[in-house]
Every structure is written in C-alpha cells, then in structure tokens.
Amino acid sequence: MKLNVLEIEKLNFGYNKNHLIYDNFSLYLKRGEIISIVGVSGSGKSTLFELITNNLKPLSGEIKTLKISSIYQDPYSSFHPTYSIYEQISDVVENFEELEELLKKLNLSMELLDQKPHYLSGGQLQRCSILRGLLSKPDLLLADEPTSALDNVIALDVMRLLIKFKDRFGLLLITHDEDLAVWCSDKIIRLEENR
C-alpha cells in the first residue's frame, strides 16, 4: 500500500470567519498519484498551497505532510536576483547525481545555471524551478500553474517529465487548464468561485 504524502482532514479556513473558502475539506494524496486542483482565479487554489506550506494557519482541522518542494507560477519570485541559479539549487539539493540527465530532459545547459535569474527568459527560469524541485527529492511536489510560462510544446514535455518521475512523489497540481488536468490527473478537485 502506497504511503500518504499529504493528509488534510476537516480543514476550515477563510480570510473572513463568516465566509469559509474551505469548509470541512479533506484530501489524501499518495506517492505516485497526481491530484489537480482546478478553479478560476479567486477560488482558493493558491490559498490551499499556503495552508499546506504553513504560511497560513487553518481555523481548524489538520494538515500533515512529508518533505515538500514547490514550483510556483511566477518563476522570478522563486529565485533571489543576486545569486546564480546553481547557488540557489545547491542551497536545497544535496545530491546532484541526476543533474545532467534532468538538464537534458528540460532542455537546459550547465552554463545557464551559472547565470543570475534576470539573464534567463521566464520559460528557462521556470524549467530551472522544476529542476530544483525534482533534484530536492520531495515526497510531495506542489506545482502552482507550473507550465503557464512555457510554450505549448515545452509545457507538454515538462508535464511528461513530471509524470515520468511521479512514482517518487505525490504531485498536487494547481491549474485552470481543465484539459491538462483531465490528461494527467488521477483525481480532480474543482473549486467554486468565492463570492
């Protein structure tokens, strides 16, 4: 039986206690599984990630996780501007044995890693963010619109790569792309717009 890498039990949360975004919400994610959270802007998708990473506290309920790595929608906010990409990957990665293989699959060069973030395109930087996420060997990978900065061909390649490695972690994917969610997910949770 596969291990749960994320357990959310009876979560209650709202920025206003009279208007809950999550009301008695439960979710269980196993290693090797992909669950997509689908919804329009303002439905609480990113709020869920903030709760899982402990940046927000629930009003009640419990969230248990194993080792987390995150890939965010805006890659420029994921990297400090004054350090090279390699330095920032080294901060969270102990073992670089798969570096060359992953660079090739993500269509990145070793020379690119010596650059500071502002020298890279948004697409290159997002692929570096995905590289860092995979190299850190998480149990739980949180991906918030990870392909939104990529063109369609590269986005498809990146999702195929994440799926290829999914036996190593559980993937919780935030997306507004219903087709992507249907294509890659074991389960889809659709959030309603909060009014």
- 47 contacts: CB under 8 Å, gap ≥ 6: 13, 21, 22, 56
Q: Indicate whether 24 pLDDT > 80.
A: yes
The span from the CA of 98 to the CA of 78, in Å, is 21
Q: What is the mean pLDDT of residues 144-164?
A: 81
> Has residue 16 been placed in a domain?
yes
Average pLDDT, the chain: 89
Widest CA span in the chain: 52
Handedness of CA 123, 126, 121, 108 (dihedral sign): negative
What is the pLDDT, as a whole number, of residue 13?
A: 95
The span from the CA of 87 to the CA of 82, in Å, is 10
What is the pLDDT, as a whole number, of residue 193?
A: 67
pLDDT band at 28 (very low <50, low <70, confident <90, very high): very high
Q: What is the mean pLDDT of residues 26-46?
A: 90
* Rounded alpha-carbon distances, angstroms, from residue 70 to 57, 153, 194: 18, 22, 25
> Has residue 195 been placed in a domain?
no
**Which pTM was predicted?**
0.87
Parent domain of 85: 4-190
> Has residue 157 been placed in a domain?
yes
> Has residue 127 been placed in a domain?
yes
Q: What is the mean pLDDT of residues 10-15?
A: 94
> Has residue 41 been placed in a domain?
yes
DSSP 8-state assignment for residue 56: S
Buried b (16+ CB within 10 A) or exposed e, 95-114: eeeebeebbebbebeeebbe
> Has residue 153 been placed in a domain?
yes
Q: Indicate whether 195 pLDDT > 60.
A: no
The CATH number covering residue 13 comes to 3.40.50.300
pLDDT band at 44 (very low <50, low <70, confident <90, very high): confident
List the structure tokens of 80: 């400090």
* Rounded alpha-carbon distances, angstroms, from residue 6 to 62, 80, 99, 179: 11, 28, 27, 24
pLDDT, one tens digit per residue, over 69-97 is 998 888 888 899 999 999 999 888 877 78
Q: Which carries the bigger pLDDT value, residue 98 or residue 9?
A: 9
* Structural domains in the chain (count): 1
> Has residue 29 been placed in a domain?
yes
What is the pLDDT, as a whole number, of residue 118?
A: 92
- Is residue 90 within 8 A of residue 142, CB to CB? The reply is no
> Has residue 161 been placed in a domain?
yes
Per DSSP, the residues of 140-178 read: EEEEESTTTTS-HHHHHHHHHHHHHTGGGSEEEEEES-H
pLDDT, one tens digit per residue, over 99-149 is 888 898 888 999 999 999 999 988 889 889 989 999 999 999 999 988 776
